[in-house]
Amino acid sequence: MHPVILSAYTMASCLGRGLGPTRAAMRDGASRLIPCRFETVDLETYVGEIEGVDAQVLPAGLRHFDCRNNRAAEVGLMQDGFVEAVEGARRRHGAARIGVFMGTSTAGILQTELAYRRRAADGSLPADFDYAHTHSTFSVGDYVRTRLGLAGPGVVVSTACSSSAKVFANAARFLDAGLIDAAVVGGVDTLCLTTLYGFNSLQLLSTQPCRPYDEQRDGISIGEAAAFFLLERVGDGASPQSLALLGVGESCDAYHMSSPHPEGLGARIAMEAALAAAAMGARGIDYVNLHGTGTPSNDAAEDRAVSGLFGHDVPVNSTKGMTGHALGAAGAAEAVISVLALAEGWVPASPGTRTIDPALKARYEVAGGPRALRRVMSNSFGFGGSNCSLVFGRLGTAP
């Protein structure tokens, strides 16, 4: 694939709003996971909430999109001058030449959960419930596209935890085909009862902040996030120092609906495909941001794939101990963290992890710290074996 410039990026998560608090947490090894007090949920687990989402008001004329997921999208869009950057791209390319590619898992399902509490005696949902604009999978893509005044292709991907990583691949294909000149890509997923009770029913929720790669790891901590990138083709004035998406790799191992392939087969195929797309070998990667959920089977499978490909030379870790697992938004949120690591020359910490499981072989770094990074990889692997790996670097480091 041709490299794609990262013209702007931002995120909101439990770490805070924008790149500033995210950058600080990466350096300080801070976690903002808190005991779950969400809605009516009665579970012993930890979550990562975006502060102030419920109080966020959508712009006039867009109130029919009102739900927690789209409010989170609005919070994310408002950070780091992202809306202004898209406005600049719209002036350069035209609204019809900018696509919107969003990833989400449960979208606005909380809105339906709330509507069900207000069912009429005959079981019908309340008349003011607007499924299309609040719950449907396309809702967040529709909201972002409308909010930014864009008229290019609109795509929403829902492949569980790889959703907002795979949108980078969709956007790159549209750009390579000449169908668009720029793309807004990202992911938004927010807390709801379905995911909290659903993962609890699978016995996958940790009773404390998640501990990826720890020998005592016992499950995930669910978080929420809204993360966005503005992608543009490499222009004549592009600097060798420009941050860029260099490669994307996808696979589907179809091993099991909720368990990874025990040898990490699909994960390895996705990583190898990303390296091939970036025209580089494994030695070209300086840090891998793992999917690293903190469940025994997921971490073990990913470790087999990563250590088999990179050996013990490349530092790796998971940042879900900071943010929780943002499900459909995890790919975009961890892409932001990976790009910040690249820009700052800093491997982020992995809070929560205390004693690394001696059965795992990759070079897992708990503390993080300064490091010269040329190219980094970010992994996102979803239920059903839907896998995606992204390679980021400076334009001048593209082979």
The catalytic site residues sit at: 161, 291, 325
- From CA 199, how far away is CA 193, in angstroms rounded? 10
What's the CA gap between 332 and 316, in Å, rounded?
Answer: 18
C-alpha distances out from residue 370 to 27, 77, 84, 242, 346, Å: 9, 29, 31, 20, 4
C-alpha to C-alpha distance for 34 and 23, rounded to whole angstroms: 20
The alpha-helical segments, DSSP class H, found in the chain are: 19-28, 68-77, 82-93, 109-116, 131-134, 139-147, 163-176, 193-201, 265-277, 296-310, 320-323, 330-344
Give the angle 269-365-390 at the CA atoms, nearest 5°. Answer: 30
Going by C-alpha positions, the residue among 367, 337, 316 that lies closest to residue 16 is 337
User: H or E segment at 10?
Assistant: strand 4-13
Distance of alpha carbon 368 from alpha carbon 232, whole angstroms: 31
249 phi/psi in degrees, rounded to 5: -130, 135
